[in-house]
Chains A and B, each alone.
Chain A
Amino acid sequence: MAEATQEKKNVGPVDDKVHTWPHLVRLEFLVALFVLVMLSLWSLMIDAPLEEPANPTRTPNPSKAPWYFLGLQEMLVYFDPWHAGVVLPSLIIVGLMVIPFIDINPKGNGYYTYAERKYEILTFFLGFHVLWVSMIIIGTFFRGPGWNLFWPWQHWDPHKVVALTNVDLPYLLGFRDYWLSAAFGLFCVVAYFVAGIGIFYVWVLRVKGKDFMERWGPVRFAITAFLFVTMLSLPVKMILRLAFNVKYILVTPWINI
C-alpha cells in the first residue's frame, strides 16, 4: 500500500492532501469546544426573553417580526404585502437558487478572488449586505410605534404625528382620471423593466464583451436581467418614497405597485 501511494506521488500532479485524522478533526474539535463554551457563557449571562402571557386583544405597538424577517417587514413600507411579503421573498429564494446556473464564469472556483469576479461579488454584496442586512438593521433599531422612524436614543412616542403626504405617481403628475392613471402606471412599470433590461444589456456588452454575451445566451441573460432589475426596484421605490413622497406607481382595483 505504501508503494502504491509512492507511485501515485511520482506520476500525478503534486498531491497536497493531508489526513483528516488528525488535521481536520482536531480543528473541528477545538472550534466546536470554543463555540460551545462561548454559547454556555452567553446563556448563563443573558436570559431568553419571556413577556406577559399571550393576549390576542392587546396588540403591542410596534409589533415586530423576529429579527431575521425584519427585512421583509421593512419592505412592507415600500410595497404592498402581496408584493413585499410573497412575491419578493419567492424571487429571493429562486434568485439564490439560479446563481450557479447564470454565473458561467469558470474562474474563482474554490478560492477567494475579487479581481476575477468583480461584478458577481458586487451584485451579491448589493443584495445581501446593502439591501437585506441594512433593512434588518433599520427594522430592528430605527423603527418604533406606528412603524415610524426613530433614532435609537429618541423616546418612542406612540403619539408621534407624521403627516401622511404620500400620493400616487400618476396623481403627482396631474392625472385625475381613474383609468388613465392606471394606464399611465402600467406604462411606467413596463417602461421601467424594458428600460432597465435594455440598459443592463448594453452594460453587460460593454463590460463583458460580445463573446461573453454569446456564451451567456438569451435565457441566462433574460433571467439575470429580470432578477437584477427587480432587485433594483427596491432602492428605486425607496428613493421615490423618501424624496418625492410617492406611494404607488400603478394603482388598479386588484393590485398596486
Chain B
Amino acid sequence: MALKKWEEIKKDIVENQVWKAIFRHGYEDTPRNRVLMVTANVFLHLHPAKVRRHGVRMRFTWCMGGLTFLMFLVTVVTGIYLMFYYRPVAEYAYADMKYLEFDMPFGMLMRNMHRWAAHAMVVFVWLHMFRVFLTGSYKPPREFNWIVGVLLLVLTLLLSFTGYLLPWDQLSIWAVTVGSNMARATPLLGHEGPFADFVGANPIYDARAFLFGGGEIGPHTLLRFYILHCIFIPMVASILMAVHFWRIRRDGFSGPSL
C-alpha cells in the first residue's frame, strides 16, 4: 500500500514537462541499459560491462586496488589546492605552510587530507599487493601486471618521500637527509660507496648530489623534489596506472575456473 503511494509520488515528479525538459527520459532497468551505463561512460568503461560474481565481493579484493586509486585521486585534488599557495623556494616554503594553515579557507583541512591520504595510499598499496599475492593473481596471464604493480609500489613510496621535503621544516629536511643518505653509499656512484675512487665520485659529484642538485640538501633540492613530486612522478604513475587498469580489463579479473 505504502509502496504504491511512493510509486504515485514518483510518477508525479518524473512525468511532467519540466522534468522531461531536463532529463528527457528515465532510466529503464534493462540488461541493455545496464551494459550501456558502463560502456557509454568514459569513466565507468574502465570496468568491463560484466564481472564474475566473486569479483564484486569485498571478501575477495578487499577493495584495496580501488582504494589506492581513490587515495591517489584525493591527493591530486587536495594537492592542486595546496599548489595555489605554496612556493617551492627555501625563503618562502615554510612561511607559505603557515599561511596555508592559518589564513587560507580550509587550508589546514586540505593539507591534512593530502597528508593522511598519502599515508593511507602507502598502506593500501601494501595491502593490495598482499591480497594479489594471497589470491595468486600474479600467475599467468597476469605476470606483467604484477610487474607494473611493483613499479607502482615504488612510485607510491617515492611520491610520498618527495612530498615529505616540501614543508621545509626540521622534520622534513632531516627525514629526507636520512632517507637519501644511502644514495651516497651507492657502489661506484656514491662518494662513500665501495669503489667510488675508481669512478671519481666525490661529495658534489655523485648519485646523491644528482638527486639533491648539490652536495647538501638545500634550495636546489627543494625545487627538484617539488618538480618530481608534482609533475614527474604523478605523470609516470598515471601512465603506469593506465597500463595497469587496461591490463586488468584485457585479462579479466582473476578467479577460480568455472
Contact = CB atoms under 8 A, between A and B. Distances in A.
Contacts of B87: none
Given A53-B169, A109-B137, A128-B130, A24 B56 contact: yes
Contacts of A84: 182
Contact of B150 (A17, A23, A43, A96): A96
A108 B67 CA distance: 24
A56 B220 CA distance: 14
B9 interface: no
B34 A13 contact: no
Given A50-B97, A128-B130, A109 B52 contact: no
B170 A73 contact: no
Contacts of A85: 181-183, 185
Interface stretch (B10-18, B154-162, B224-232, B240-248): B154-162
A82 B190 CA distance: 9
B224 to A, nearest CB: 15
B218 to A, nearest CB: 8
B179 interface: yes
Contacts, number: 236
A157 interface: no
A86 B170 contact: no
Contacts of A89: 182
A86 B38 contact: no
Interface string B90-134: 100010011001000000110111111100101000100110011
Interface in B161-175: 161, 164, 167-175
Given A56-B216, A68-B157, A86-B182, A110 B169 contact: no
Interface residues of A, number: 80
Contacts of B117: 39
A65 B157 CA distance: 12
A1 to B, nearest CB: 7
A55 interface: yes
B203 interface: no
B150 A25 contact: no
Interface residues of B, number: 93
B106 to A, nearest CB: 10
Contact of A55 (B142, B170, B181, B190): B170
B49 A20 contact: yes
A72 B179 CA distance: 9
A19 B112 contact: no
Contact of B194 (A31, A66, A82): A82
Contacts of A16: 52-54, 258
16 contacts: A16-B54, A19-B49, A20-B34, A22-B34, A39-B117, A48-B114, A50-B98, A54-B172, A59-B174, A73-B178, A85-B185, A86-B187, A97-B150, A100-B146, A110-B136, A124-B130
Interface of B: 31-32, 34-35, 37-38, 44, 47-56, 58, 63, 66-67, 70, 74, 90, 94, 97-98, 101, 108-109, 111-117, 120, 122, 126, 129-130, 133-140, 142-143, 146-147, 150, 153-154, 157, 160-161, 164, 167-175, 177-179, 181-187, 190, 192-195, 216-218, 254-258
Given A65-B178, A109-B254, 11 more contacts: A19-B49, A24-B56, A43-B109, A53-B170, A55-B170, A63-B177, A64-B178, A82-B182, A96-B150, A105-B139, A111-B135
Interface of A: 1-2, 5, 13-25, 27-28, 31-32, 35-36, 39-40, 42-44, 46-56, 58-60, 63-66, 68-69, 72-73, 76, 80-82, 84-87, 89, 93, 96-97, 99-101, 103, 105-113, 117, 121, 124, 128, 254-255
